[in-house]
């Protein structure tokens, strides 16, 4: 069995996360038991939710245990199998974590799924045709539920979730406006992803200024919004919402280091009879097949052209993850492991 390179959570962050919270180790891979599968990971997904798991406070999921492999989605290829459902060479997606290899129980629910790379590249199963894509689908379809002609917005528009959200919303006949950081990202959102407009939040010092830009981009107001950031971005959007607006809350990356995120004008929830709903996509596995089918078609037909930032090896994962939290990535953040 091969030696395995792994990254563990060594200690919990005190405020902002640093590379010193992680530890790189080499371990021996245990021999396979009956019903198990050995997967060689090709790509690791880095996602904002991981920052919340590093803390030990109350949350929707258990904290990442200290001294164990960091949680994370992976895609790779089966190298050895003692399970009839999987054979050597199968392309698979799972939750293999920050490591080169994983040993997986073939029957464990949701742990390993075969994927077809004929029309969709393997790495996209960690982004547009994976958890981020389904996250965008659920927030748009099940919470916002837009009608053709409505205006919808999304923060972190150039990222894995935001880009999928834009394609899904355009397919439903919506006006789609993104919020992203920097001219290059905004140009990509409009010119390659097909959004109707994109606002560079870095050009606005406060929520009032950002809200004025949203007013120009959304002359008919905002009917639905998908929130990944929180803070001044959410405040600015709320100031432009129409009556009966719907907001799907997926992330609050502006507060992941522990800073409070007070809402500037909470009375708008009542004034606009607004629906605000947070969700965790792993709690809605029943929608994944439908969502993945639509997302796969969008990618295969070129209607969704996701972009990727790829770190070169496992040792570079901590720095790439910290960069993701600061918006340094462009598109889906991956780590190449082979």
Element (H, E) at 323: helix 317-325
User: Looking at residue 118, what is its pLDDT?
Assistant: 92
Angle between helices 160-171 and 183-191 (to 10 degrees): 30
Q: What residue ranges do the domains of the chain occupy?
A: 3-127+307-336, 131-282
The answer to whether residues 120 and 299 touch, using CB atoms and an 8 Å cutoff, is yes
In sequence order, what DSSP letters do the residues of 206-237 get, joined into one string? Answer: SHHHHHHHHHHH-TT-EEEEEESS-THHHHHH
Angle between helices 131-138 and 288-300 (to 10 degrees): 110
Question: If one looks up domain 3-127+307-336 in CATH, what number appears?
Answer: 3.90.180.10
> Could you give the C-alpha distances from 116 to 91, 133, 151, 214, 300, in angstroms and in order?
7, 16, 34, 40, 12
Nearest 10 degrees: CA dihedral of 321, 162, 254, 310?
10
User: Looking at residue 235, what is its pLDDT?
Assistant: 97
User: Looking at residue 256, what is its pLDDT?
Assistant: 74
Q: 131-282: CATH homologous superfamily?
A: NAD(P)-binding Rossmann-like Domain (3.40.50.720)
Question: What is the DSSP code (8-state) at residue 47?
Answer: -
The answer to whether residues 176 and 149 touch, using CB atoms and an 8 Å cutoff, is no
In sequence order, what DSSP letters do the residues of 22-46 get, joined into one string? Answer: EEEEEEEPPPPPTTEEEEEEEEEE-
Per CATH, 3-127+307-336 and 131-282 having the same topology is answered no
How long a stretch of residues is the chain? 338
CA nearest 171: which of 297, 279, 292? Answer: 297
Q: Pinpoint the alpha helices (H) of 227-316.
A: 232-238, 267-271, 288-300
Q: What is the pLDDT along the chain (338 residues), one digit of tens a residue?
A: 899 999 999 999 998 999 999 999 999 999 999 999 999 999 999 999 999 999 987 777 889 999 999 999 999 999 999 999 999 999 999 999 999 999 999 998 878 999 999 989 999 999 999 999 999 999 999 999 999 999 999 999 999 999 999 999 999 999 999 999 999 999 999 999 999 999 999 999 999 999 999 999 999 999 999 999 999 999 999 999 999 999 999 988 887 777 788 899 999 999 999 999 999 999 999 999 999 999 999 999 999 999 999 999 999 999 999 999 998 999 999 999 99
- Report d(CA 22, CA 4) in Å as an integer: 16
């Amino acid at each position: 069995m091969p030696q395995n390179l792994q990254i563990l959570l060594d200690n919990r962050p005190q405020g902002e996360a640093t590379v010193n919270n992680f530890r790189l180790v080499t371990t021996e891979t245990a021999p396979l038991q009956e019903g198990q599968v050995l997967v060689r990971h090709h790509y690791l997904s880095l996602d904002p939710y991981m920052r919340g798991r590093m803390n030990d406070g109350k949350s929707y999921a258990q904290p990442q245990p200290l001294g164990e492999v960091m949680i994370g989605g992976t895609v790779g290829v089966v190298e050895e199998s003692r399970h009839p459902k999987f054979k050597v060479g199968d392309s698979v997606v799972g939750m293999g974590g920050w490591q080169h290899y994983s040993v997986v129980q073939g029957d464990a629910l949701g742990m390993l799924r075969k994927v077809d790379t004929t029309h969709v590249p393997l790495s996209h199963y960690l982004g547009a045709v994976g958890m981020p894509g389904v996250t965008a689908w659920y927030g748009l379809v099940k919470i916002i539920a837009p009608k053709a002609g409505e205006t919808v917005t999304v923060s972190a528009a150039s990222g894995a979730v935001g880009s999928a959200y834009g394609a899904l919303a355009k397919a439903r006949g919506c006006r789609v406006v993104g919020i992203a950081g920097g001219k290059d990202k905004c140009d990509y959102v409009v010119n390659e992803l097909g959004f109707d407009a994109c606002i560079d939040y870095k050009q606005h010092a406060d929520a009032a200024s950002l809200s004025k830009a949203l007013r120009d981009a959304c002359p008919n107001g905002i009917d639905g919004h998908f929130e990944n950031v929180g803070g001044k971005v959410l405040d600015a959007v709320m100031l432009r919402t129409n009556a009966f607006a719907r907001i799907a809350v997926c992330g609050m990356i502006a507060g992941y280091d522990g800073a409070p995120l007070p809402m500037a004008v909470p009375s708008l929830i009542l004034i606009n009879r607004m629906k605000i709903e947070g969700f965790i996509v792993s709690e809605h596995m029943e929608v994944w097949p439908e969502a993945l089918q639509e997302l796969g078609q969008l990618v295969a037909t070129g209607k969704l052209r996701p972009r990727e930032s790829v770190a070169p090896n496992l040792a570079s994962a901590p720095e790439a993850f910290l960069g993701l939290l600061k918006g340094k990535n462009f598109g889906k953040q991956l780590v190449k492991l082979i």
